[in-house]
């Protein structure tokens, strides 16, 4: 495997109803170009794809998932679950994601990435946010490989910050870590993605809450499974 650079620039919108999440994003992503941050509903964002934090079975029964299902109609859950059956035999692991057409003009696609295995699970003591965020952006890569340029803008909410009860500052930093891989690397498998993130963030609980970790893409020799040195940056 080799280092990858996104062929198309991606406009990223981070939007959430929580002022605390928005404030934490502004700090974590302060030096990150190409990312727009605002307070509001993802349903108002005219982008190519929305990212919805979900559960492993794609049951859109609450939180952002529920709001999107009500907005797009019940058929969106059927599309998500059909994709999960096809790609993951019905149970999508944290660190995986599916991208499905919505049938709507805006957004054209919905990316579902689980932050938890079952609905309403507390994931505040896990790395699930980083795994889910990274997986969502890898789904953008996959979709653009199938249909080049089909996703050039994407909107995300504070993944795990509501139902998953992840503190806003932790959520923002983990999302930043997950996002940093997007422009540098395209993973061939979810297993390699999970290994890269878990290897480099396994000791993050011992670090100050203001610390960000920039994930290093795997080398060809390491194949994404070996422990790589991480580059840490203090949040501004």
Contact assessment for residue 140 and residue 99, using Cβ atoms and an 8 Å cutoff: yes
pLDDT recorded at residue 227: 35
Distance CA 193, CA 176 (A): 15
The pLDDT of residue 8 is above 80: no
Which pTM value belongs to this model? 0.88
Contact 108, 102 (CB under 8 A): yes
What is the β-pairing status of strands 11-16 and 35-39? parallel
- Based on the number of CB atoms within 10 Å of its own CB, is 198 exposed (0-12), middle (13-18) or buried (19 or more)? middle
Determine whether 108 is exposed, middle or buried from the number of CB atoms within 10 Å of its CB (0-12, 13-18, 19+).
Answer: middle
Per mean pLDDT, which range of 25-34, 44-53, 164-173, 183-192 is the poorest?
A: 183-192
pLDDT in tens, 58-85: 999 989 999 999 999 999 999 999 999 9
**Segment 99-114 mean pLDDT:** 98
- Report whether pLDDT(143) > 50: yes
Nearest to 144 by CA among 186, 189, 181: 186
Statement: residue 226 has pLDDT above 90: no
Is the N-terminal amide bond of 140 cis, ω within 30° of 0?
no
- Predicted local confidence at residue 228, as pLDDT: 34
The domains located in the chain, with CATH, are 11-234 (3.40.220.10)
Name the pLDDT band for 17 (thresholds 50, 70, 90): very high
pLDDT tops 70 at residue 231: no
């Amino acid at each position: 495997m080799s280092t990858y650079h996104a062929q198309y620039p991606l406009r990223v919108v981070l939007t959430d109803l929580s002022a605390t999440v928005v404030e934490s994003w502004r700090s974590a992503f302060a030096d990150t170009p190409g990312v727009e941050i605002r307070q509001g509903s993802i349903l108002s964002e005219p982008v190519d794809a929305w990212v919805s934090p979900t559960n492993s079975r794609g049951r859109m029964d609450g939180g952002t998932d529920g709001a999107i299902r009500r907005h797009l109609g019940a058929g969106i859950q059927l599309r998500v679950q059909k994709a999960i059956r096809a790609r993951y035999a019905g149970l999508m692991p944290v660190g995986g994601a599916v991208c499905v057409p919505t049938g709507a003009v805006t957004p054209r696609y919905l990316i579902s990435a689980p932050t938890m295995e079952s609905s309403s699970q507390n994931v505040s003591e896990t790395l699930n946010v980083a795994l889910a965020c990274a997986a969502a952006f890898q789904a953008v890569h996959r979709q653009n490989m199938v249909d080049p340029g089909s996703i050039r803008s994407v909107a995300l909410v504070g993944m795990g910050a509501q139902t998953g009860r992840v503190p806003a500052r932790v959520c923002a930093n983990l999302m930043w870590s997950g996002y940093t891989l997007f422009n540098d690397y395209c993973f061939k498998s979810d297993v390699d993605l999970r290994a890269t993130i878990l290897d480099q963030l396994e000791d993050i609980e011992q670090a100050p809450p203001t610390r960000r970790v920039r994930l290093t893409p795997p080398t060809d020799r390491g194949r994404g499974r070996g422990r790589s040195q991480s580059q840490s940056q203090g949040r501004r």
